[in-house]
Structure 1
């Protein structure tokens, strides 16, 4: 079917400025209560939730792509803006792919955290790839709640969204939580990986709900929070000093899955 769109060629166009602000600025995303999805597959993952797209931005070449055409045919009511190739490349935040972005409203967190259900807690994780990977792993492992400290990478930023591959849409996520008061108040066991811990991950009984606390890439879990957690070690017979936090998280979560399936 024929699609109606608006051509944009000027760098100072207000629509381009708005898109750039959402791509680059946490404060602007928060003020507008919007974010940007990049790429066909991430947009499709969002659309499966039944939520609305507020606007599409793409290049003329992408407009001729069959996957894009099929996607747009299902969302004919959303405004469609076609940027020049140079404008799009100047705004985009990700690597090569089909040049399409979608603006969506930023989901709001529910008022209350379920303190008796499994949860993943992220303390000051700053790498978008690590955060997105942990979100995707949590969703795959069946954990529904993710709690994030103030210093953790913005969950709804384009880079974290891309790394999470749509996991955000199936999780209940709480950001900017004061973990120094939240963690001590929990009644569930809190586990944190530590190279200094004596107890192995594989000695734990993980049949019941628990909390997985993952710390900063360089410093790990802070001393303050470690006082309220049970330190566990992941055996590394190869002798490496430590594991990437996203890898460590995946090992822990799927040891939990293994035990519960057994």
Structure 2
């Protein structure tokens, strides 16, 4: 375990930049994971870490020590930092005592989508994006397409909200949605409050669906909305007119999952 004490150490400066700057993450092709849960999820999924930085306080945790032992003897460099130095690097207000850097994955190769997938247009809130990806992974979705207007999928806040979902999905960032959905064999459904919208619970969702969701407030852009083969509304008998996009995603994806599990194929 290599000890670093200076805040001006080049490795410390790079980790701090990765934690706080989307520009640096794109430039270096790296990002950071904060906390034992995310790091465990990455290792369990077979990801290779570049560095594992542990604070003096973090070394008091048996879970964190086990993670250091998992990385020993690999290409991952294990670093020991004073609590104050790790706190300066960490992207969260209350550091967990351990932080890791990793190389961003290569963009998934272009492919013809045949199963259900998640398509996001302009979702910029990091917490929402991470929660949505977590919901998609839990529902068994394998591919998530993000338009150029979405938040950076591998930003620390998105990773933290995703709780390991990133390692179970193929994430296509800055996707050309029209090109990606050209020739898609299933329905392309967009959640929208329109006169021609169909009630979600009246639709047969057992076949593949490309689910289109837009940003909070603005909804789908006209260009993305035009890609839909049908518009869908979620019934809301209460006195509110809309749902958080994360809640809408969960309702739609798990309604499809329910139908696929509980309804006989005809």
Normalized against structure 2, the TM-score is what? 0.92
Pair 35,65 (structure 1): closer, same or farther in 2 beyond 3 Å = same
Give the conservation status (yes or no) of the 8 Å contact 2:198–2:233. yes
Q: Distance in 2 between matches of 1:27 and 1:70?
A: 33
Aligned positions of 1:1-262 closer than 5 A: 4-8=1-5, 10-77=6-73, 78-183=76-181, 185-197=183-195, 198-229=197-228, 230-262=230-262
Q: Secondary structure, in 3 states, of the residue corresponding to 1:196?
A: coil
Give the conservation status (yes or no) of the 8 Å contact 2:16–2:89. yes
Deviation per CA, 1:83-134: give whole Å up to 9, x if none. 2222222221124252110111111132123321211001010011111111
Q: Secondary structure, in 3 states, of the residue corresponding to 1:54?
A: strand
Give the conservation status (yes or no) of the 8 Å contact 1:132–1:160. yes
Give the conservation status (yes or no) of the 8 Å contact 1:183–1:225. no
Pair 27,185 (structure 1): closer, same or farther in 2 beyond 3 Å = farther
Give the conservation status (yes or no) of the 8 Å contact 1:39–1:101. yes
Q: Distance in 1 between matches of 2:180 and 2:108?
A: 16
Larger CA deviation: 180-189 vs 161-170? 180-189
Q: Distance in 1 between matches of 2:49 and 2:215?
A: 34
Give the conservation status (yes or no) of the 8 Å contact 1:54–1:102. yes
Q: Where does the alignment leave 5 or more consecutive residues of structure 2 unmatched?
A: none
Query: Shift of the alpha carbon at 1:179?
Result: 2.1
Q: Secondary structure, in 3 states, of the residue corresponding to 1:231?
A: strand
Counting matched residue pairs gives 258
Q: Distance in 1 between matches of 2:101 and 2:205?
A: 40
Larger CA deviation: 215-224 vs 180-189? 180-189
Q: Secondary structure, in 3 states, of the residue corresponding to 2:32?
A: strand
Q: Distance in 2 between matches of 1:91 and 1:75?
A: 20
Larger CA deviation: 113-122 vs 34-43? 113-122
Normalized against structure 1, the TM-score is what? 0.93
Q: Secondary structure, in 3 states, of the residue corresponding to 1:214?
A: strand
Give the conservation status (yes or no) of the 8 Å contact 1:35–1:105. yes
Q: Distance in 1 between matches of 2:224 and 2:51?
A: 42
Q: Secondary structure, in 3 states, of the residue corresponding to 2:174?
A: coil
Give the conservation status (yes or no) of the 8 Å contact 2:54–2:80. yes
Q: Where does the alignment leave 5 or more consecutive residues of structure 1 unmatched?
A: none
